[in-house]
Each structure stands twice: as C-alpha cells, then as structure tokens.
Amino acid sequence: MSSVSPQPEPAPRRKFGELTKITVESEVSVEHAEMFYQLYLVAFEPLRHRAVARQVLHRDEFFEEMHDPRVWKYVAWDDAGQPIGLTTLTKDLSTVPWISPEYFTSRYPEHAARDAIYYLGFTLADPRQRLSRLFFQMLDAVVGRLVDDRAVCAYDVCAYNNESMRFGRNIELALHRLADVDVETIDAQTYYRAEFR
C-alpha cells in the first residue's frame, strides 16, 4: 500500500473486541488492487445476471478507484501483514458516476456547507475470514469518521441483494448498533418488462 489518507483517520472505536488492523489508504498498490479485484469479481459477478442496473465495475474503473485519492480505501490487515478486507468511502460525490451530487447538496445544504456528505461504496472481505466480524470492524472504522463529522452518508443496494440477502436491512441494523443514526430509503428505481407473445 502506498500513501495514507490526506486527513488523519480517527482511531478505531473497538466496539467488537480486539480489532483487525485497519488503515485508510489514498492509493492501493497494483499487487493489492489485483487481489482485491479478484475478491470483487467473486462478490459482484453474480449480479450481472440478477440486477438490471450495472452493478459490476469494469476492471479499469475498479483500478481507477483504487488509485484515486478522493476515494478512501479502508483496508483490513491480518497478523501477517496481508490485506484481507476493503471498504471504500468518499465525500467527493463526483467519483460515483451513477448518482447525482446535486440531489444531496440540495437536500442537505447544511451538510454540504460543512463538506459532510459521504458515499459508501463497497465492502470486500477474504472469504477465509470471519466475514461478519470483519465487516462490522470495517464498518465501525467508517462510522467513526461519519459520527465525528455529523455526516450524511448514502449507499445503494440492488433489489436482488435486498430481497435475497436483506443487505439494506442488515446494514441498517449494524449502523444502529454502532451509532445514533436515522436511516431511510431516499429513492427507488423500478424496472418493468413487457414480454409479448
């Protein structure tokens, strides 16, 4: 891994016992980006056939994000110093091509004035790890920054993941365990099909 985030990261809050080491990186090495991309494909590839909107970043998009200092990479490390998890977070909403930054600045002007609107990207974890524990630890590190900034943070979950795995509900429950937070659905997009016989 290369440089550290331009802003100092608050210390992990240790809500889940002894934490895995988590750092905030502005850039990920090519070697680690390749490893994370393989994890990313395992996690997101099935959505190519299960979601109407494109859920999978192309390889060049993924690597661009790994090298973009405006996107913070929360990296979890094992005891041997190997990366085992990744969560992305940004407050430069222009880095998220499928959302409208103007939507957030118009609805949350006080947060926009304080530069406290964030977007949570994706979370990946090595499947050999205790995934739920690692997920909560990475989320806890992210939530620390959001609480400190009294932020608004948006994220998206496709209908398939909400219906089959209850991702949205599980993230909401996790957030409530970590902080005093209000979570609401702010938009939905429904796709229809007409099959003619």
For residue 74, list its beta bridge partners.
24, 87
Q: Does residue 137 contact residue 20 with C-beta atoms inside 8 Å?
A: yes
Beta bridge partners of 4: 25
**Digit-coded pLDDT (tens) for 149-173:** 999 999 988 777 778 778 778 888 8
Higher pLDDT among residues 17 and 135, named by residue? 135
Considering only the top CATH level, what class is 21-178?
alpha beta
Give residues with Cβ within 8 angstroms of 50, minimum separation 6: 158, 160
**Residues 86-105: tens digit of each pLDDT:** 999 999 999 998 899 999 99
Q: What is the pLDDT of residues 13-42, one digit of tens each?
A: 445 445 689 999 999 999 999 999 999 998
The pair of structure tokens assigned to 192 is 């229809």
All residues at 6 or more sequence positions from 173 whose CB lies less than 8 Å from its CB, including other chains: none
Mean pLDDT across the stretch 137-148?
94
Biggest distance spanned by C-alpha atoms of the chain: 60
